[in-house]
Structure 1
């Protein structure tokens, strides 16, 4: 898993005299845990799909939710998807609820709702239903 970093800008107080120089804000790096929260994993999965990085998407859990047929069938399943827009609606423990809008190459859009289950930074299950 990649470690994430939060950037925090710290600005020193302005001097009380008019002849002093104001210091430039400093950036402080606060390291975050090396594991990803469940929602971060699902977002990373769709980011990989949108970048057409199917190897990364496969390793983030695509292999577990592909439904059989192997990697080539998995990749071919995205042939008519041009872009995915994901909205995380809720996170309860390891379960991530989402709404997915999948723009297709023919200009249409498919809408899905459902959940992903994440364990150890990998999607281990999904239950998605097409609503449009």
Structure 2
């Protein structure tokens, strides 16, 4: 097919498509905006801001360096942070949150995690009932807080903590 014939076929196809786009009866007409008369003050209602939303970033998997998670006291601390990452505050409360809250209420305990997106725990060692850890906690503003220290575990729950903020 020559160049002239291709142009003709293309123009005919374009005309056929344009014919399909012709409005038919019942097609909505575009809205017409009427400007206010001169010297008229138009007051717009204030924009309503959407309520803030909390977005949780999927936490990295909890990892252990040493010892293996088979050590029951280490498993308790890992389970505590897994519960926090799942936002399962009742489970975290029962795994030691109650003791870590130092007499505070459950509601204030939960509120204390409002700005934490997730936490990554590394178990660095176990000595008796003491679990030594390194903790990285990503905040909802994107910042990262790191801690180092230990948790004491007794009866399947955390009974104390000695944690220091590193950064």
Residue 52 of structure 1 and its aligned partner are, at CA, apart by: 0.2
Query: Residue 156 of structure 2 corresponds to which residue in structure 1?
Result: 121
Q: Aligned residues, how many? A: 97
- Secondary structure of 1:99's match? strand
TM-score (norm 2): 0.57
Deviations 1:14-45 (A, max 9, x none): xxxxxxxxxxxxxxxxxxxxxx7100000000
1:108 aligns with 2:139: no
For structure 1, the 5+ residue unaligned runs are: 1-35
Query: Residue 70 of structure 1 corresponds to which residue in structure 2?
Result: 105
Query: Residue 58 of structure 1 corresponds to which residue in structure 2?
Result: 93
Distance of 2:102 and 2:154 partners within structure 1: 18
Residue 69 of structure 1 and its aligned partner are, at CA, apart by: 2.2
- Secondary structure of 2:98's match? helix
Please identify which structure carries the higher helix content: 2
For structure 2, the 5+ residue unaligned runs are: 1-70
Residue 66 of structure 1 and its aligned partner are, at CA, apart by: 1.1
Deviations 1:74-96 (A, max 9, x none): 00000000010000000011000
Pick aligned residue for 1:94 from 110, 113, 129: 129
Please identify which structure carries the higher strand content: 1
Off by >4 Å, runs of 4+ in structure 1: none
TM-score (norm 1): 0.72
Which structure has the bigger radius of gyration? 2
Residue 68 of structure 1 and its aligned partner are, at CA, apart by: 3.1
Cα RMSD (Å) of the superposition?
A: 0.9
